Amino acid sequence: MPTYLHCAPPLALAAALGPRRVPAGLLAAGVAASVLPDLDMLAVWHAGVRYDTVLGHRGLTHSIGFALALGLLAALAARRRGWRPGIAFLFVAASAVSHPLLDLLTDRGIGSALFYPLTDRRVNLPWRPLPLSAAGLFGVARLRLECLWIGLPLLAAGTLGAGLRLWLERAGLARRPALAK
């Protein structure tokens, strides 16, 4: 579980899509959705839930189904908030699913129940390039690794996406959406 940069994917995606498609409130919802899956640790720490169960760490809250449910909640709230429902659904769901996908890149943990409720089997990637097991849970070494493996690539992707969006809009090849609230 990257500790510091779970919020980086929604920030990069929002930069690429722009503030007209992802207003500040929707960005805040995406950032919240990107860190929400780790609330399962409260059940482990305070309710005695076993770490390796569906309700334990990297279980239900680290699934695509959970991300889709959060996206649906955002879509239902969209009209009231002045967001476009389709963008709210996709943005929040993508933000939430980015969390377990980043977790799958680490050399720590028991895998994620990514496909729950279809199966509660934990999955891992064969290639896990983010070496966090020697870095500890918090600290400078971990922050440095996360910045190198997550922060810099997503900064580049967000910057490239924003540049491409602006170029397409100025060239008249992309429609500028109305400013959302």
Q: What's at 140, amino acid-wise?
A: V
Please report the pLDDT score of residue 65 as a whole number: 97
What is the span of the domain harbouring residue 135?
8-170
Tell me whether residue 178 is in a domain. Answer: no
Residue 126 has what DSSP assignment?
Answer: S
Three-class DSSP category at 106: strand
In whole angstroms, what is the distance from residue 90 CA to residue 36 CA?
A: 16
In whole angstroms, what is the distance from residue 158 CA to residue 44 CA?
A: 35
Please report the pLDDT score of residue 181 as a whole number: 55
Q: Structural domain tally of the chain?
A: 1
In whole angstroms, what is the distance from residue 49 CA to residue 55 CA?
A: 7
**pLDDT one-digit tens code per residue, 111-164:** 899 999 999 899 999 888 887 777 777 788 888 888 988 999 999 999 999 999
**pLDDT one-digit tens code per residue, 54-95:** 999 999 999 999 999 999 999 999 999 999 999 999 999 999
Tell me whether residue 3 is in a domain. Answer: no
Tell me whether residue 123 is in a domain. Answer: yes
Cα–chain-centroid distance for residue 134? 24
Three-class DSSP category at 16: helix
Q: What's at 167, amino acid-wise?
A: W
Tell me whether residue 177 is in a domain. Answer: no
Tell me whether residue 29 is in a domain. Answer: yes
Tell me whether residue 16 is in a domain. Answer: yes
Closest CA to 30 of 3, 2, 61, 9: 9
Tell me whether residue 176 is in a domain. Answer: no
Tell me whether residue 175 is in a domain. Answer: no
Closest CA to 4 of 70, 129, 102, 93: 102
